[in-house]
Amino acid sequence: MQPLEADDPRTVGEYRLLRRLGAGGMGRVYLGRSPGGRTVAVKVVHPHFAADEEFRGRFRREVDSARRVGGEWTAPVLDADPEAPTPWVATGYVAGPSLHQAVVGHGPLPEHTVRALGAGLGEALAAVHARGLVHRDVKPSNVLLTLDGPRLIDFGIARAMDGTASLTSTGVTVGSPGYMSPEQVLGREAGPASDVFSLGAVLAYAATGTPPFPGDNSAALLYKVVHEEPELGDLDGVLRETVTACLAKDATARPSPAEVARRLAGAAGATGLVRPGWLPGPVVEGVSRRAVELLELEADDEPPAPPPVPSAPAPSPPVHATPTEPSAPPPGGPPGAFGPPPPYGAPTEDGTPPRRRRRRAALLAAGALLAATAAGGLLLFPDGLFPGGGGDDPKPDDRPPGTVPEAFVGTWEGQTVTRSGLHGSTLTLTVSEGREGEETVRMVYEITGLECRARGTVEDVSKTRLKVTERSEGDSPEVLGVKVCSGETATVVLTLDGEGRLHYASDDVGAGRPEGDLTRRK
C-alpha cells in the first residue's frame, strides 16, 4: 500500500480512499472504505479511456457480467458506476499477497498448498462458467492467498460467452503472455476451456517457481504456448497429470474446472484441503504483515477519543440487565477474539500507551484476516431488533426461571467475523445445564492452529437468549513474543434464531465486536 499522491482522488462515489494499491493498463486501484466501515478495493479507469464511448460500453457490459460472479473463492463486485465522468468499480478487498508475490518472495509452494490452490480456483472457475462467463485473464497476479484459501480476482475483462464485442478493438491486450491459451494467441473464440489452460499454467508456476512456457519476450512466449510442450520440471504424481491435462493444445481435451477440483481434492472439495496450515509459514507471515498494515490503518482512521470529563461516581449497576438495556462494552477483548484495536487515544485498564496497545491488538488480529471482505457482508442482530431473541420459540421447557433452556445445551460450531468484515476465528462453544450465576459455557477459539480457551458465567436467561460474562482460561500461546489470547473479560450474547442456529455476538470494541452464526455439532 502506498500513500495517496497529489493527483489521486480522495473519494470515489460514496467510498473514501485511503491508500493506493497499484496500477495497471486499465486504471488505478485504491484501498477505500464505505460509509458503513467496509474495506473495499476501488478500481478507477484511466481518464483517456473514459472519453472513449466504445470503451464505456464494454466496461458497462463487463461490470454487469462481474456482478453475476459468485462463489466461495472469488472477491465479489460490490458497487460500480460506468456512467461516472471517470468510470469505477468497487470489489471486496482481500488482504493477502498475490500468488506472484508469494512465489517471488518465498519460492515454489509445497504440493499440499498447490493442490488446495488448484481445487479452490477450479471451484471458482466452475462458478464463473455456470453464469455464462469466461474470466480470460487467469494469472498469478490475479490470484490472492489468504488464511481462508485462494481468491480469484479481477473480472475486468471477463465477458458473456455469447457476447460478440471484441475486447482488442481499442488496443487492450486480452490475457497475459505465458498464461494465455493457444486459441487466445491465435485470435480464436476463448471459451471456458481457455480458463482451464490458464489455470494449468498458474499451477505449474506455483509448484515449480517458473512459468511452463518461459521466454525472454512476448513473441517467444506466445510461440511456445502454441507450438511447444510445457516445461514442468520435477512436478510429478496427480499434480503433474492434472497440470498436463489442463495444458493440452486441444481445448476439447482439457478437463472441466470441476474435474480439476475433484482430481486434486476428491469428494471433500477445496474446503477439505483449505485448513489451518494450508499455507507455508513464510507466506502466513506475509498475510499477517498485511493484516497489521490494514488494522493500523483502521486505527489511524479512527477519530481521537475525547478526553474524559470528571463526573460524580456512577451508581452501582443492576445485577441483571433486561434484554433492551444497552450494556457498555468492557475495556478488553474476549479471549481468542480478533479484530481492530480501540480508537487511538482511548484509555486502557493496564495503562499501556494507546499506540502500543493498538499495535498489540493489530498483532492479535494479524493471523485472522482473510481477504477482506469477500462475499456477503455482515449479519448484525443488535439487542432490541428482535426483542427477547427473535424467531420462533423452541420446544416448551418447564425448567424453573433462571435455568438455561434445554434448546441451548450442547456443542455449537462456526466462524466469527468482526464488524469491519475481518474473519475472526473458528469458535467451538459448549453450553451445559445450569442456571444464572453458574459457569455453564465453554469457548475454544482456533486460528491457524492456535487455541484460546474461555469460560462463561450466565448472567441473564430467556427462552431464546443468554447473556454471558466471558473470562480467559489457561495460558495463552504466543506469536512473535506477543500473547494471542487477550486475557480480558467480555460480554457475550447468545441468541437462538428459530432456524437451528445460535447467534454469537460480543460487544467488545477492541476485538471488533465479533459475531457469528453457530450450528449444533452432530
Phi-psi region of 61 (alpha: psi -120 to 50; beta: other; left: phi over 0): alpha
DSSP reduced 3-state for 337: coil
DSSP reduced 3-state for 67: helix
DSSP reduced 3-state for 259: helix
Cα–Cα distance measured from residue 457 to residue 444, given in angstroms and rounded to the nearest whole number: 15
Active-site residue identified among 8, 137, 148, 162: 137
Instruction: Return the closest-CA partner of residue 431 out of 461, 451, 452.
Output: 461
Cα–Cα distance measured from residue 75 to residue 300, given in angstroms and rounded to the nearest whole number: 26
Instruction: Return the closest-CA partner of residue 329 out of 512, 515, 453, 517.
Output: 512
Cα–Cα distance measured from residue 393 to residue 112, given in angstroms and rounded to the nearest whole number: 46
- 66 Cβ partners below 8 Å, 6+ apart? 77, 89, 155, 156, 158
Is the distance from CB of 156 to CB of 66 less than 8 angstroms? yes
Instruction: Tell whether 224 is in a known binding site.
Output: no
How is residue 132 written as a grid cell? 455464462
Cα–Cα distance measured from residue 38 to residue 15, given in angstroms and rounded to the nearest whole number: 9
Cα–Cα distance measured from residue 460 to residue 437, given in angstroms and rounded to the nearest whole number: 8
Q: Is 148 a catalytic residue?
A: no
Cα–Cα distance measured from residue 471 to residue 457, given in angstroms and rounded to the nearest whole number: 8
DSSP code string of 167-185: TTTTS---S-TTTS-HHHH
Residues marked active site are found at: 137
Binding residues for ATP: 43
Binding residues: 43
